[in-house]
C-alpha cells in the first residue's frame, strides 16, 4: 500500500487552464504539506495543514488554493495556470507539527504550455 499517494503523476496543460492535484495519505498522520520543486531542483514549502486547519501559508500566489476535506486528504487547486507554474509538486505528511520526518508522495510533474 502506498503511504502518500498523489495523482496525477504527470499533468500537461495550456496556460490559463485550471487544474487540481490530489493527495491522500493512509498513515494516520495529522499534518500534510505541499512542496514545489523548481527546475533547479530546489524544494520549497507552499502550504501545510494540521487536522484540516491551515498552519503554513508561504508567499504563494492566490491562484493556488489548498483544500483539506479531512486529515487524510490535501488537494491543490491551481487557477489560471502560468508558464512559471511548471514544476514538480510534492505532497507530504508527518505525524505531528514538529519532530518527525516527512513522508513524501511520488510527485506530480506539471508542465504548462
Residues within the interface to other proteins (CB under 8 A):
33, 40-45, 48, 50, 55-56, 88, 90, 92, 97-99, 101-104, 106-107, 109
Give the residue with the Cβ less far from other proteins, 18 or 58.
Answer: 58
Residue 92: strand pairing partners: 33, 104
Give the residue with the Cβ less far from other proteins, 17 or 44.
Answer: 44
> Which helix or strand (DSSP H or E) is residue 20 part of?
strand 19-25
Residue 104 · residue 4 · CB < 8 Å:
yes
| 2 phi/psi in degrees, rounded to 5 | -75, 130
Give the residue with the Cβ less far from other proteins, 60 or 102.
Answer: 102
Amino acid at each position: 500500500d502506498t503511504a502518500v499517494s498523489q495523482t496525477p503523476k504527470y499533468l500537461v496543460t495550456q496556460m490559463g487552464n485550471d487544474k487540481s492535484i490530489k493527495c491522500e495519505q493512509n498513515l494516520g498522520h495529522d499534518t500534510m504539506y505541499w512542496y514545489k520543486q523548481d527546475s533547479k531542483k530546489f524544494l520549497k514549502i507552499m502550504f501545510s495543514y494540521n487536522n484540516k486547519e491551515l498552519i503554513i501559508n508561504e508567499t504563494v500566489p492566490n491562484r493556488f488554493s489548498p483544500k483539506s476535506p479531512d486529515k487524510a486528504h490535501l488537494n491543490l487547486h491551481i487557477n489560471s495556470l502560468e508558464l512559471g507554474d511548471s514544476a514538480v509538486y510534492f505532497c507530504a505528511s508527518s505525524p505531528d507539527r514538529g519532530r518527525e520526518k516527512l513522508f513524501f508522495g511520488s510527485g506530480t510533474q506539471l508542465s504548462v504550455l
